[in-house]
Structure 1
């Protein structure tokens, strides 16, 4: 098994790298190339906050790319909101690869991060490298994401040493839903908080370019953010993280029923689509659609 080197420096931006040019900010910048992990590191140095959304298809991804969202995650959250599974656990490499390639094809600027699904990296670094390599080669994704702190540090280190950028994910890790017995807040209490800090530093030292903090008390997330050289991406982790991510179907009000406390719904898309479908159906039944202007002769 690959051994972590205590002397290894975090995958933060090298000091010699110049700052971004004016107008080249992550969100809404005017750059004509894809966002890279170097841009992410530069944003951390500038103290710039930035948004991340999930995406699972070319059309939606193109909308978010056009809106200036700098990082899109092809998350295994597709299992819950796109594929009809009860959790992220059943999601397969084939499903991640298919949808990641679609998202890449639908975008020009955003950095695309593809999730490594449950069972794709837990065996160890070699399995992680094999599956991460497949995602990068087959889909064109610019980075991968995997869950776990200290327990996944060896996987992170091998992937980074092979040239594959890694976004880590700690705190509430949805692939561990059965072990957690649900989706509880993580890092509460002195011992749990200390472990979260160790996890964050472990993935940084292994070379991760960013780390997602999910369902973590805001005060602890702020402490982690201050202690790291790499950016933190919060989801249910308060406002002090360097970036924020939401599942797009939650953000747009497409999700039915109760949503997590940390979700803000910026649109009532489910209601709007339902109303449009009803209007279409009523016109068909009444014989008023198609009209003459929709008809060929």
Structure 2
């Protein structure tokens, strides 16, 4: 296990370094240069030159890259040109909205997707299986924007049919008021979680169908278990490695939906920050935000691989054989 972690961490570092080079190069091949893009079309030449000097763009590309990466390693993501605030501080404040929103969305997806997938696999009547399959397809095809708007029309205070939840903004004092803070995340989490739950439902049903037809559940039933209990114990335990991979992929996919939801519901999260900085041409901030987004995806992959290895004895046995 130790060798596996060392190898995965090395691959993580290499992949993140490659991504950082790609991000750095992509922002430097824009038409003109970064200072011209950030200053705007009608900016005087003096302002462009001042901005180039302020951002260190008058240095060589290798020096610029090393300065940026060196700051990131030390926890310094740079300073926003528009606000003059530390990007690290801004990311820390907005992560308090985005990360809980992702976790809430994942909780909604698992709470809906796993039971429905199991129910669809265990359904005896073909009509029920077809209905569950159709519902998962329809829910998965709905864009996050549409699902969010529908939830606003149904449950938002002031304009919804059942006005019980806020649909815009986040408390100024953040999680200092846990109740209002959590309430402001309910509708965004539902808008993302329902869509992701559709995919988890389909995967769970498909994986359990394979197990139910493989004979493993029959052996458990022969020992005295009911079909439902055998499927929910032996079946889910057998497919748990594949489900972990599916949850990891859906968690990465959820980031896109979260960005849409944050802008729709007016939440001051990382998605809103990235969209705002792109629109305002604050490319110094965009550069670091894209790197953090890439690091998030790579971290999810690392966690999924590690958990997969821990719960699947076949992988551990194979690694022992390779060591031997």
Normalising TM by the smaller chain, what interval? under 0.3
Larger relative strand fraction: 1
Larger relative helix fraction: 2
TM-score by length of 2: 0.22
Q: Which has the larger radius of gyration?
A: 2
TM-score by length of 1: 0.23
